[in-house]
Amino acid sequence: MDEKVFQRFNGDKVTDDMLEEASKLFSENYGVWSEHAAQLMGKFAKAGSRVRLSKERLRNEYLPSGISSYVRVSVNGHLAGNAFACRWTVNGRTICWITQLVVHSDYRERGLASGLLNEIKLDGDDAYGIMSSHPAACLAASKAFGSSMNTVSFEYMKVNAESIMQASPVRYVRNAKLRGKLFDPKDASGLVSSVDTGFYVDHEEPLEALAWVRESMEWPLGELLDGHEFILILPARRRSRSSSARRSGTS
Ligand SMILES: CC(C)(COP(=O)(O)OP(=O)(O)OC[C@H]1O[C@@H](n2cnc3c(N)ncnc32)[C@H](O)[C@@H]1OP(=O)(O)O)[C@@H](O)C(=O)NCCC(=O)NCCS
């Protein structure tokens, strides 16, 4: 049987060696640049070549604050996936944002992304956010932070997305432009809950996943367009007073 080990670290405990491994995992497994990426983003984004991230960028842009978290999972001693999260506050509420999530291609579709996100949660978190072009990342987040995609509160996202994102210390979150019918009822592009991030990663794999997901459920986040990603923001599930009171024996 496989030995699966999840580990969580505060941002300030993440070493350069850990980031070196994370950079390798990302650069070998995240995805490739799309056909028009070089034209739209610069020569570095050569069509078909792998999207890369250095350990310096991981540290500075994905773990920028003191309350950042890094969670990794190894299977039989091999790094199989990891997730980065950054926290900040808005009107006294703590937002935990998944700044990066990747699972090695040999270890996908066995619940590791859901497990990583489940592990990243802290008791004081009031809301969780993620932007991703991959439907599986959104499904994993809805499962770990809420209960399922069918119970997502679109009203919560509509009301809170802008203020949460504007306050982010993470540049790409702050600069993302909200798109879709949820944020603009006149939007007729087919987008529902999306962001324009200008990140032209190839969408072949996420679109295949989307087609597959749509065979079994009503996908609520809409279409996926080039340079765009889905966005999901979920309030933290709170234990009801009655159930915590029952556990502690009070009434
Ligand atoms: C997105 C990614 C992290 C998912 O990792 P994973 O470990 O395979 O995900 P899980 O096994 O936890 O699956 C989560 C959900 O997505 C579904 N899923 C996973 N892969 C899928 C696929 N290719 N097509 C359709 N559904 C898929 C699972 O069935 C599960 O749904 P359920 O909870 O309703 O059963 C992984 O595919 C990946 O690293 N992709 C490349 C990088 C990327 O796009 N990262 C996201 C950027 S934030």
Q: For residue range 110-141, what is the model confidence (pLDDT) as tens digits?
A: 999 999 999 999 999 999 999 999 999 999 99
Please name every residue paired with 128 in a beta bridge, in sequence order, or none if there are none.
96, 234
- Would you list the DSSP string of 139-199? HHHHHHHSS-GGG--HHHHHHHHHHHHHT-SSHHHHH-EEESTTT-TT--SSBSSEEE---
In sequence order, the 6+-apart residues with CB closer than 8 A to the CB of 27 are: 50, 51, 52, 53
In order of start, what are the domains of the chain with their CATH numbers? 4-248 (3.40.630.30)
* Interval between CA 81 and ligand 1 midpoint (Å): 11
* Interval between CA 242 and ligand 1 midpoint (Å): 34
pLDDT tens-place string over residues 208-221: 999 999 999 999 99
- 246 has pLDDT over 60: no
Range with lowest mean pLDDT among 62-71, 86-95, 98-107, 171-180 = 62-71
Pocket test for ligand 1, best of 53, 116, 117, 134 (most atoms within 8 A of CB): 134
Residue nearest to atom 25 of ligand 1 (CA): 209
- 249 has pLDDT over 80: no
| pLDDT at residue number 122 | 94
pTM: 0.94
* Interval between CA 135 and ligand 1 midpoint (Å): 7
Q: What percentage of the chain has pLDDT greater than the value 90?
A: 89
pLDDT range class, residue 239, cuts 50, 70, 90: low
Q: Is 110 in the pocket of ligand 1 (CB under 6 A)?
A: yes
